[in-house]
Amino acid sequence: MRIAVISDVHSVADTFRSALEDARRTGFDQMVILGDLFTYGVDPVECADLAIEAVERDDALLIAGNHDKLYLDLEGSCSAYYDRLPEWIMESAQWTWSQLGEKWPRRLETIQEWAWDGLLLAHANPFGFGNWTYLSSPELLAEAARVLRERGFRAGIFGHLHREATYSDDLGTLVHIVDSTGQPRRKGFQRTSWTLVEVSEAQIEIESRSIPFDRERLREQIRMVPNLSQETKTKLCGFYL
């Protein structure tokens, strides 16, 4: 089984499109969009259209992340998560919601997680949907491996952290975090990518495939957005320095 994993797009259409095109050229049996289609970037409508096309053309599965659940909640008049956001993220979310209209969530069905042959895919971690803990330390990676094994899995693929990481415990339980497709956060080494996961009875092979991105173009797109404060624009541009 060859699984194409695209994660943390965050409304950046250029890299999302490049990831989809490269995945199609490479070939896969199942495509999984691992959550966080929106917020931060300035192409939410185009990203929604690309996701809809991936679902219809590629039978892609869309796993909800925290920045998808945010808009699902808003659609249902629930703002508990939104109300806890920092003001600048709240402003980005408000702008995104105003652009999306009925494209989200009514035209895109999400799932909470997906499993195949001992492999679990979820947005953030194996701790359950709605737990957005970042697997950002050796202790948390070890806990994720323990929970995976407890749940009957031999490996887990997650996003959310925006920085690639791999961990395997003494019993061989694998935890892999994929890079972001739209908003890299690794200090000193920024790249956007998608990930090819090949699952067999004997092993799980993981290949991170880099895709080009134009930092200055992304910053300029953000600067040109009306109705966002300068403080928010500065924060958003800061991801692409």
Supply the DSSP string of 112-124, one letter for each residue. S-EEETTEEE-SS
Is residue 145 situated within a structural domain?
yes
- 116: in domain: yes
pTM of structure: 0.94
The pLDDT score that the predictor gives to residue 74 is 85
- Cβ neighbors of 206 (< 8 A, separation 6 or more) are 157, 166, 176, 195, 196, 197, 198
pLDDT of residue 189: 62
- 233 located within any domain: no
- Asked if the structure places residue 154 within a domain, the reply is yes
pLDDT given at position 104: 67
For residue 105, is the peptide bond before it cis, meaning its omega torsion is within 30 degrees of 0? Answer: yes
For residue 212, what pLDDT is reported? 87
Alpha-carbon separation of residue 29 from 24, 210, 240 (angstroms): 10, 20, 32
Whether 241 maps to a domain, the answer reads no
Q: Along the chain (241 residues), what's the average pLDDT of each consecutive run of 10 residues?
A: 98 96 98 96 94 96 95 86 94 93 74 96 97 97 98 98 95 96 79 93 93 90 93 93 80
CATH number for position 28: 3.60.21.10
- The residue range of the domain holding 42 is 2-213
The answer to whether residue 40 sits within a structural domain is: yes
**Residue 77 has what pLDDT?**
85
With respect to residue 79, please indicate whether it lies within any of the assigned structural domains.
Answer: yes
The two tokens of residue 200 are: 């067999």
The predicted structure's pLDDT at residue 17 = 97
Q: Is 106 a domain residue?
A: yes
- Number of domain units in the chain: 1
CB neighbours of 127 closer than 8 A, spacing ≥ 6? 133, 144, 147
Q: What are the φ and ψ backbone dihedral angles of 220, each rounded to 5 degrees? A: -65, -40
pLDDT at residue 102 in the model = 60
Q: What is the pLDDT of residue 105?
A: 62
